[in-house]
Structure 1
């Protein structure tokens, strides 16, 4: 794949990740929607943490979308996704649909960043077949 198609694909994956996070996670938390508080309560989070987590998620998504801070945003977002995974494990939710969902999101996020960032591709090259 040449550089331009990789860049476009990377931005499409990054945009899809960002839109999903903004629509499915950040917006409900920042708008204090009942579904966000209920979901957090089901995961064992005390009331009052929803807004703070939404702000942190928003900050990480914005950092991820800015090319100069994208690596920092990805690392910080992975920390949030790891915490989400730990919360799912703690309450005993199903493996493939709930627990590993953070991993799926992380793979899309890192895949998009890898495709749009030449320095990251140089750091983690993909070996071609012999």
Structure 2
């Protein structure tokens, strides 16, 4: 009984964490697709051509949707990890503060993978190296 309750709790916590990540990334994608002034200004500061705003927003939207769909969530997580890694490199290149700007994408990536592992037993097995009880 405790295993079932623990499993259900882990699953719910996983969806909450994933939901927060999904909401943040969808908001980010929307800002790029809508070409909001603050987003375009940030892109200029980071050395990214503003003409890429819609393209980057579309890529982020598609891979976030892949992450949100249970059947494709692992693929989405993998692609989002690459996207977030690119953000780290951009912030390193322009010399932004390490803990607040540069590593923010790492924090999002950690939440992304922990959320997925808590809601997907196959991913949990991959990280922790053991079979979960069924």
TM-score by length of 2: 0.90
Residue in 1 aligned with 2:86? 83
Residue in 1 aligned with 2:11? 7
CA drift of 1:46 comes to 1.6
- In structure 1, C-alpha distance between the alignment counterparts of 2:90 and 2:67, rounded to whole Å: 23
- In structure 1, C-alpha distance between the alignment counterparts of 2:119 and 2:36, rounded to whole Å: 34
**Pairwise CA RMSD:** 1.3
Structure 2: unaligned runs, 5 residues or longer: none
Is 1:39 the counterpart of 2:50? The answer is no
CA drift of 1:37 comes to 1.0
Structure 1: unaligned runs, 5 residues or longer: none
Residue in 1 aligned with 2:26? 22
TM-score by length of 1: 0.93
Q: Any idea what SS the aligned residue of 1:32 has?
A: coil
Residue in 1 aligned with 2:106? 103
Runs of 4+ in 1 over 4 A off after TM superposition: none
- In structure 2, C-alpha distance between the alignment counterparts of 1:75 and 1:81, rounded to whole Å: 10
CA drift of 1:47 comes to 2.5
- In structure 2, C-alpha distance between the alignment counterparts of 1:91 and 1:28, rounded to whole Å: 21
Residue in 1 aligned with 2:59? 56
Whichever structure has more helix as a proportion of its residues is 2
